[in-house]
Amino acid sequence: MGKHRAKDQSLSAAIGQQIRQQRQRRALSQLAVATRSGVSREFISYCERGQRLPTVDTLSSFAQALECRLIDLLPPAPLRTQDELPFPDEWEMHVKKLNANERQILLDLARSLQTGQEFFPEWAEQS
């Protein structure tokens, strides 16, 4: 089995677990989520068991059906140790290469991470 295939299966399983948790938290059946999101109950089952990796559009439909944010259906990112984080001078080197608008976006993202608020920059609304 290739490296990418193993990663896809691991990701499928992790997303499936998140979908199941959100569904069970709301006491919904697979059929209810399927009906609300426009997919088959069997597809929900495959996704929850990690046998299918839903597209972003399908995850968005699931999030609407489950009345949660799309990010709630994604597995949490692994925590990094202090040794794995870039050093401040490395951050400074990268930030210096950004224009003013890019720096503002980075600052807004950092604030949203700190406060737990959803990050949605104004430029994303224009598309």
CATH class of 3-73: mainly alpha
- Report angle CA 38, 43, 46 to the nearest 5 degrees: 155
Judge whether residue 13 has pLDDT over 50: yes
| 48 Cβ neighbours under 8 A, 6+ residues apart | 16, 17, 19, 20, 23, 30
Whether the predicted model's global pTM rises above the 0.95 cut? no
Domain ranges, ordered by start, for the chain: 3-73, 82-125
Q: Read off the pLDDT of residues 34-93 as tens digits, 9 standing for 90 and up.
A: 999 999 999 999 999 999 999 999 999 999 999 999 989 988 876 656 666 666 777 788
